[in-house]
Structure 1
Amino acid sequence: MKKIYVLDTNVLLHDPQAPLKFEDNVVVIPAVVLEEIDAKKRLQDEIGRNARQVSRMLDGLRERGRLHEGIPLDQGGVLKVELNHRSFIRLKARFGEMTSDNRMLAVALNYHLEEQESDSPRPVIVVSKDVLVRVKADVLGLPAQDYLSDRTVSPDAFYTGYSQVYVHPGVIDAFYTDRSLAVSELGKTVYPNEFVILRDETGTSKSALVKVSTDGTRLEPLRLAGDPVWGITARNAQQRMALELLLSDDIPLVTLTGRAGTGKTLLALAAALHKVEDERRYKKLLIARPIVPMGKDIGYLPGEKDEKLRPWMQPIYDNLEYLFDAKKSGDLDKILMGLGSIQVEALTYIRGRSIPGQYIIIDEAQNLSRHEVKTIVTRVGEGSKIVLIGDPEQIDHPYLDSVSNGLTLIVEKFKSESISGHVTLEKGERSKLAQLAAERL
């Protein structure tokens, strides 16, 4: 049975192509949603870009007919802009003030009531990324759901980059003897550059930490993660895995996820400094992060570009101070000025750039949208390596969540590629307090 989907503004601002992704059903865009889209179109950010893209899409569809009467879509569905769907007196009696959200819900409610009077009523479903809008819809007796088309995977199926496999102890002995093992010995599917912890199925403490080769055919020992890197030593198995990927020249795309305090940024910076300053493998280290505040924005910042960026980039500078052992105020600035090979940037102006021969670290990548992460990774030039770091559970972006952000997308889309590697760090190493807070709060 065909359904009627009523879209909230945040769905369109999150994915401008959303109206085209509901198969052969009817998609309704209330007039109040158009008003909110219009209010966003002048913004010079991702939301403004998406608002303008929605406007262009609707303008293109006008060539097929009148939007308020319904436009047939290529996939068999119908798109309709609802101008004034009856009165919203029923809803006003329940929620009082007619806000934009309530006006959108009134459209859905009136559609629902109309359908109930027909011989074969169609389900009317509210689609919104706003939890409270979905709660209000439920109060009104309307089915409501989050926008699901952009979800890469359910949270319990996230790719961690490693797995444990219980094998016969002879298999572990054979690996230590030959320093190699065929993937077929595992009896399970693994991805290129994935890590595997081999454990004795008989219950002894015998084990081995191995890595799937780039071509995905054999298991290899870890080669690069044993010695300290810029004074940093791996404190657990996942950190060893991370350093192995960060130091490998044949893996140009690395993603690291994990809760606060697991060492993601520090490990990436240490490996990058080793590659740039010690080995001279890359000519420059570029560190960037999205400008998305946690909590209320503090507004405009005084000074030149570097001075404006300093508060946003302070977590990066904190880690650099630790690595360079800079104890006095101003020491780090002098060190960075003397080196000249470390560049700390915002992601605002990355569009149109080509970045060859550099080690690139993108911190807080969980706050990137799918479009933004595509824009960033496509900037990577020949001979560069890019590392994306973040915690999908700490989203500050208003239109993203743990399963729809750019970092999660790139982990899932690239997990089977030979040029990429991923590790989820689990154990906090910042301090006992930080680890306990990450677990309990």
Structure 2
Amino acid sequence: MSDTPETPKIYVVDTSVPMHEDEALENFGDNCVFLHIAVVEELEGLKKADGEKGASARAALRKIVAFSDQGSLTNGVPTRGGGRIFISYTSDEDFQLLPVGLEKTNDNRMILLAKKLQNANPCRQVIVVSKENSMRIKANACGLLAQDYKHDKLVSSLNELYSGFSTIVLEKDELGAVAELLKVGSLDESFIKDALASDLNLHPNQCCLIRNSDGQEAMAIYKKQAHTFVLVKPRSKKTADELIPRNMYQWFAYALLTDPSVRVLTLCGVAGAGKTLMSLCAGIEQLGGLYNQLTVFRTPAGVGLELGFMPGDLHEKFKDWKKPILKLFNRMLGHPAKDDKKKSSKKSRSSDLEITEASLGDSLEIGPIMYLQGDTFFNQFVIADETQNITPKEAEIVRTRLGEGSKIVFTGDPTQIVRPHLDSISNGLVSTIALLAGAEYYGHLNMPISERDDVVQDMIERAKQRTQT
């Protein structure tokens, strides 16, 4: 067989890939996909695990069973993309093909299968695909091509990601576009086009800082269908939680959060940018009007334990992950945190009682994000928090729960990944931004300024400079 670009590649896929995405085996185009039989054994061993791990293993096994129902996996069965999927195996005698010292583990058996396929098909590319760094390193050291699973990476870097913000500088504002926007509260896009002498390249609901050469500036959100810029006017009146946005990005976020035409919103940015706080503020302010309930979902990633191993019922298992949300509620309502009560002699504005989930009644629900499947949100303001630590598939499950009269807000920081097999560009938050940019019902904003403390912002800037050098 000649070595041409049209020659199908051979991919050897390890267990981490179907565990990450059960449809992954369909996503290799017209190429050949090989699974070592040890992958099936590993999935079988994981299927009874609690939580997400067990669910992922069961979904992957169901997919492999569906393939086996089509015919013999030894001879290969077709995939949707025109390729074929095989299950194969190796023997211990074959380990002589690998460097001396490698143990007879399942990972090494998968590498061995790739090595055998490479020897049998010298004119075809044989590539090991794994979400595990160590697996890719070992495969590479054994003379094999190795790569991460790329299908869920919709951008190649965060620099390519839609920011949701644009600065428009009007060098010639002869028609007084900025003054008109500030006076009337809205502005036809033709004013901006005439001043720019070029087409606008903006998404629906994009946040814009419009500035002219005289130093006048205005914050506005672009409504593409209406061909209009709508003024975002900072107000002196405090929000329902008695907090005032502190910077331009927080005002833009608040405008998007309270815009009923924006049904799905993503807010990403640095620690302390106000993503969750602004979302809670907006949700509280709209309760009893547009929405009947404020619902907050969080991922328990970061503690290193599945919920199933924690003591108690679901409420007790998840209580530690609820604390940051309840702490923000207490801050908004003027109640000092437990740690601050001894330090502060000030009385809270409302009462000395600390807010709990129970005291908020049916107006608030806080739960783990992995128990959403099958649910539908009706007339709810939904916040999916820390969504950089969910998979693109899980983000899709959250998005598709949207029911009549509801709004879903995704928050997170793509640089703060703590979950295995996810990175800054292959996570649920980034996949949502990349997929929905340009939709009329969607808004997005990257919030680069931390209001937590001046020291925090300085540390963020230093870290950014370090990564750029």
Normalising by the residue count of structure 2, what TM-score does the alignment of the two structures yield?
0.84
In 2, distance between residues paired with 1:376 and 1:298?
19
2:247 maps to 236
| 2:330 aligns with one of 306, 321, 339 | 321
| 1:180 aligns with one of 169, 176, 187 | 187
1:209 maps to 219
2:154 maps to 152
Deviation sequence 1:256-307 (CA, Å, 0-9, x none): 111211111111111111112xx63322211221222345679844455433
In 2, distance between residues paired with 1:335 and 1:23?
48
Shift of 1:171: 6.2
Which residue identity lines up with residue 325 of structure 2 in the other structure?
I
Could you list the runs of 5+ residues in structure 1 that have no partner in the other structure? Answer: none
2:98 maps to 91
Shift of 1:13: 0.9
Compared CA separation, residues 430 and 171, structure 1 to 2 (3 A):
farther
2:210 maps to 198
In 1, distance between residues paired with 2:313 and 2:32?
51
| 1:8 aligns with one of 10, 14, 25 | 14
Deviation sequence 1:396-419 (CA, Å, 0-9, x none): 222322222222122222221222
Which residue identity lines up with residue 127 of structure 2 in the other structure?
I
1:135 maps to 137
Compared CA separation, residues 104 and 216, structure 1 to 2 (3 A):
farther
| 2:285 aligns with one of 271, 274, 279 | 274
Is 1:262 equivalent to 2:273 in the alignment? yes
Which residue identity lines up with residue 247 of structure 1 in the other structure?
T
1:412 maps to 434
Shift of 1:129: 1.4
Shift of 1:38: 1.6
Deviation sequence 1:52-102 (CA, Å, 0-9, x none): 233223223224432122223343322111122660223251x53232222
Compared CA separation, residues 63 and 435, structure 1 to 2 (3 A):
same
Q: Is the 8 A contact 2:130 2:148 kept in 1?
A: yes
Which residue identity lines up with residue 162 of structure 2 in the other structure?
Y
Which residue identity lines up with residue 208 of structure 2 in the other structure?
V
Which residue identity lines up with residue 324 of structure 1 in the other structure?
L
Compared CA separation, residues 63 and 383, structure 1 to 2 (3 A):
closer
Q: Is the 8 A contact 2:295 2:365 kept in 1?
A: yes
3-state SS of 2:177 partner: helix
Shift of 1:335: 8.5
**Superposed structure 1 runs of 4+ greater than 6 Å apart:** 296-299
In 2, distance between residues paired with 1:290 and 1:429?
24
Shift of 1:383: 1.5
In 2, distance between residues paired with 1:72 and 1:345?
40
Is 1:376 equivalent to 2:398 in the alignment? yes
3-state SS of 1:196 partner: strand
3-state SS of 1:331 partner: coil
Q: How does 1:278-289 map to 2 (within 5 A)?
A: 280-289=289-298
Q: Is the 8 A contact 2:330 2:355 kept in 1?
A: no
Which residue identity lines up with residue 431 of structure 1 in the other structure?
D
Shift of 1:360: 1.4
Q: How does 1:35-184 map to 2 (within 5 A)?
A: 35-84=41-90, 87-93=94-100, 95-116=101-122, 121-155=123-157, 156-170=159-173, 173-177=176-180, 179-182=186-189
Q: Is the 8 A contact 1:225 1:241 kept in 2?
A: no
In 2, distance between residues paired with 1:226 and 1:8?
57
Compared CA separation, residues 335 and 98, structure 1 to 2 (3 A):
closer
Which residue identity lines up with residue 232 of structure 2 in the other structure?
L
Deviation sequence 1:12-37 (CA, Å, 0-9, x none): 11122222222221111112222212
In 2, distance between residues paired with 1:335 and 1:42?
32
Q: Is the 8 A contact 1:30 1:83 kept in 2?
A: yes
